[in-house]
A and B are shown apart, each in its own frame.
Chain A
Amino acid sequence: MILFLILAFLSVVFSLLVVTQRNVVHSAMALAATLFIIAVLFLTLDAPMLGVLQILIYAGAIMILILFVIMLLNPMSVEARPAAWWTLGSLGAGALFLQLAGLLHRPAVFAEAAVPASFGGPESIAQSLFTDFALPFEVASVLLLVAIIGAVVLAQRQR
């Protein structure tokens, strides 16, 4: 419980930094921190496999890719939006949050389910992934192949 509150506070602070930092690299580092904290939250929810994947794929691969592009392009800092946009955006996000939080006012129907000790491990995920979700799994591999080819085609120098 205490752990959750600390992690929740840190993740909100770092995600606010992602949005408010002027420097793109600082934003990216704050996002990496947020992703790490979310990985720890996955661990508190008995999802060790997904926690590790989160660190490997998100905090590792995707963040490295984003940082590479930032440093490759070295973009000048884009002029900030006027203050009206900040108010508008914050108000809109606040309204969205209230809308989402309003859904929680119903009486709680979810007591914590009892789960086996192997819950969320590689074995239980693989069991589900390669039986019930075998077709989506294959489709995902095709999607990754298409993304690789698309990225190479898009980013190559035009002749």
Chain B
Amino acid sequence: MTQAPLEYYLVLSAVLFAIGVAGVVIRRDVIVILMSIELMLNAVNLTFIAFSRFLGSVEGQVIVFFVMTVAAAEAVVGLAIMISVFRFRQTLDPRDMQLLKW
């Protein structure tokens, strides 16, 4: 089985990243926005792994390991903030989360 060339992986991760950006812009549900961010992180991870394979260097995979760690921390803190906001506002609509907006 032949390996797909690097460009294919890069195009795929560009598509996934763009879909993630669209999700953040379009959706009005904070949980879906968080999931779109996870999607963008995964697209970038795919780029790292593809370059790591095609350059024959394992550093890219180590970076992905750290990205996963940070993504886990980000998801935990983000969801905790959502729970805390939901307790006060009873909604997950970002339009009601403008307390810090000037």
Binding site for B on A (CB under 8 A): 1-5, 8, 11-12, 15-16, 18-19, 24, 27-28, 31, 34-35, 38, 41-42, 44-47, 49-50, 53-54, 57-58, 61-62, 65-66, 69-70, 72-73, 75-81, 85-86, 88-90, 92-94, 96-97, 100-101, 104, 108, 110-115, 119-120, 124-125, 127-129, 132-133, 136, 140, 143-144, 146-148, 150-152, 154-155, 157-158
Flag B21-56 by CB within 8 Å of A: 1 or 0 each.
Answer: 111011111011011101100100110011111111
Q: Whose C-beta in chain B lies nearest to the C-beta of A9?
A: B12
Query: Distance (Å) between the CB of A30 and the closest chain B CB?
Result: 9
What class of interface size applies to chain B in its complex with A?
A: 35 or more
Q: State the CA gap A57–B46 with chains docked (Å).
A: 15
Contact B27 A151 (CB under 8 A): no
Give chain B interface residues in 56-83, CB to chain A under 8 Å.
56-59, 61-62, 64-66, 68-77, 79-83
Query: Distance (Å) between the CB of B22 and the closest chain A CB?
Result: 4
Residue of A11, A24, A35, A125 touching B61 (CB-CB under 8 A): A125
Contact B56 A81 (CB under 8 A): no
